[in-house]
Amino acid sequence: MNAEERRLKNIARYEARVRQVKRIKRTMIGVAAAAVVGIVAIVSASGRKSTKAEQTAELNQNNTVTPGAGTAAVSATGTSEAVTTSSASSDAGTTASAGAGTASSSAASAGAGAVSSSAQVDTGVFGTVGRTIVMAANEGEKVVNTPKYIWASPKGATEGNVNDPVPENDPSLMEGKEKIIYLTFDDGPGKYTEQLLGILKKHNAKATFFVTNQFPEYQNLIKSEAEEGHSIAVHSYLHDYKTIYAGSDQYWDDFEKMQQVIEDQTGYRTELVRFPGGSSNTISRFNPGIMTELAKEVEEKGYTFIDWNASSGDGEAHTSRESVISDSEKQCSYSDTSVLLCHDIKQSTVDAMDEFLTWGEQNGYTFLPMSPHSKACHQKINN
């Protein structure tokens, strides 16, 4: 099964899951309504209504909701949406088990009075489950749990999560419906990454960071990237072509070292990867056939490798802010779904982002993080 057939199959499975969730939701709403009617009758018979303080105390004791892992909510504009789920035992990263938008409410355990329980989800992270909110009517909100995050499988790619049904919140579902730019940044984090995160936040734009350990003093920014709703992906630990392309064992040794850094910073692994130089690189030809071998192994292990179909031009030795803006605008104009290659270790690139993002907004583009189901833009392998 090729990538496109797999993507269509996943979408079909997802749509079936949505229909099932809707049926469950309608059933649960009916059950909850019946329970509320029963409670009202009991309260009326006793001739006494619970006070707000009693309601809140009982709510906090009995109605804590644990969100199902992986229930991220990403809209076309990158704004957060509320979802609810009753799955306390779901493994993190398995969005299909909870189903974004499913609801479970227990009016009997909540006590009399209007009660709302929801999982408020942070923006744009593949796998962010946000924080659980328990709220009684007119009593404000209380944060009771803060799960972890990452657009990835916490168990690693060998679990095959990339083949699970496409979750409702997956950014890839916007492809063909909206004009999308997947901003991708290689080689960091570095000394300009924090500045870049501020610019992205200003524009509510999401990106994908293909990270390395070239500058270990900036490792902590990987955590910041994930927390702010960006996807995290493996690029390389050493980013040394001679070492990582010396053989399959050497590549996977480097890969696992970078995965460990990501896991140390975020708590999870990632299913996304970009080969240094891209899959079409020729610098690896000192070891004939290595890219063909690695591309096959990556997919066999369940990872998704990402290339690009647009470039900011910042891979050259000398680039200016103006050239990055010009090249990025021109190349992203060629497609309604662009994967733009950039480097957050280049000051000229970071300095260009504010103006480029403004151009994108004015021309109707949405900046989303990538998922394993996103357009991978595989190039022709030359080795």
pLDDT digits (tens, 9 = 90+) for 12-25: 655 655 555 555 55
Last residue of a domain, one of 90, 122, 145: 145
Residues 195 and 135 in one domain: no
- Domain assignment of residue 92, given as a range: 16-145
pLDDT over 80 (residue 63): no
Is there a domain that residue 88 lies in?
yes
Instruction: Decide if 299 is inside a domain.
Output: yes
DSSP 49: P
pLDDT score for 199:
98
- Do 208 and 305 fall within a single domain? yes
Residues 116/137, Cβ–Cβ less than 8 Å: yes
User: Same structural domain for residues 138 and 161?
Assistant: no
In a domain, 320, yes or no: yes
Q: Are residues 204 and 129 in the same domain?
A: no
Tally of domains in the chain: 2
Residue 381 lies in a domain: no
> In this structure, are 126 and 219 located in the same domain?
no
Where residue 30 falls among pLDDT bands split at 50, 70, 90? low
Mean pLDDT for 193-218 is 96
Q: Is residue 40 part of a domain?
A: yes
Assess contact for 80 and 131: CB atoms under 8 A: no
User: Is 186 assigned a catalytic role?
Assistant: yes
Averaged pLDDT score across all residues of the chain: 71
Q: What is the pLDDT confidence band of residue 308, given thresholds at 50, 70 and 90?
A: very high
- Using 50, 70 and 90 to split pLDDT, how confident is the model at 112? very low
Query: Which of 98, 120, 145 is where one domain is finished?
Result: 145
Q: What is the pTM of this model?
A: 0.64
In a domain, 203, yes or no: yes
Q: Which of 97, 121, 145 is the last residue of a domain?
A: 145
Does 59 map to a domain? yes
CATH code for the domain of 270: 3.20.20.370
- Check whether residue 33 and residue 124 sit in a common domain: yes
**Residue 243: which pLDDT band, with cuts at 50, 70 and 90?**
very high
Q: Pick the more confident residue, 39 or 149.
A: 39
Sorting pLDDT into bands at 50, 70 and 90, what band is 166? Answer: confident
Question: What integer pLDDT is reported at residue 65 of this predicted model?
Answer: 29
Of the residues 186, 187, 254, 344, only one is catalytic, namely 186
Same domain, 205 and 324: yes
Closest CA to 139 of 37, 85, 58: 58
pLDDT digits (tens, 9 = 90+) for 250-290: 999 999 999 999 989 988 888 899 999 999 999 999 999 99
For residue 301, being part of any structural domain is answered with yes
**Residue 116 pLDDT more than 80?**
no
Per-residue CA distances from 134 to 58, 144, 177, 195, 240 (Å) = 12, 7, 35, 35, 49
Q: What pLDDT, on a 0 to 100 scale, did the predictor assign at position 17?
A: 55
167 with 89, same domain: the answer is: no
What is the rounded average pLDDT of the residues 78-85? 31
Highest mean pLDDT among 18-32, 73-87, 289-303: 289-303
Are 211 and 358 in a shared domain?
A: yes
Q: What is the 3-state secondary structure (H, E, C) of 341-358?
A: EEECCCHHHHHHHHHHHH
**Amino acid identity, residue 217?**
E
Same domain, 120 and 173: no
Please classify residue 85 by burial: count the beta carbons closer than 10 Å to its beta carbon, then call 0-12 exposed, 13-18 middle and 19+ buried.
buried
> Is residue 341 domain-shared with residue 212, that is, in the same domain?
yes
Q: How confident is the model at residue 173 (pLDDT cuts 50, 70, 90)?
A: confident
What is the helix, strand, coil percentage profile of the chain, to 5? 40, 15, 45
**Residues of the chain with pLDDT > 90: what percent?**
49
The residue annotated as part of the active site, out of 343, 344, 351, 373, is: 343
Statement: residue 150 has pLDDT above 70 = no
On whether both 253 and 223 belong to a single domain, the answer is yes
Query: Where is pLDDT greater, at 137 or 268?
Result: 268
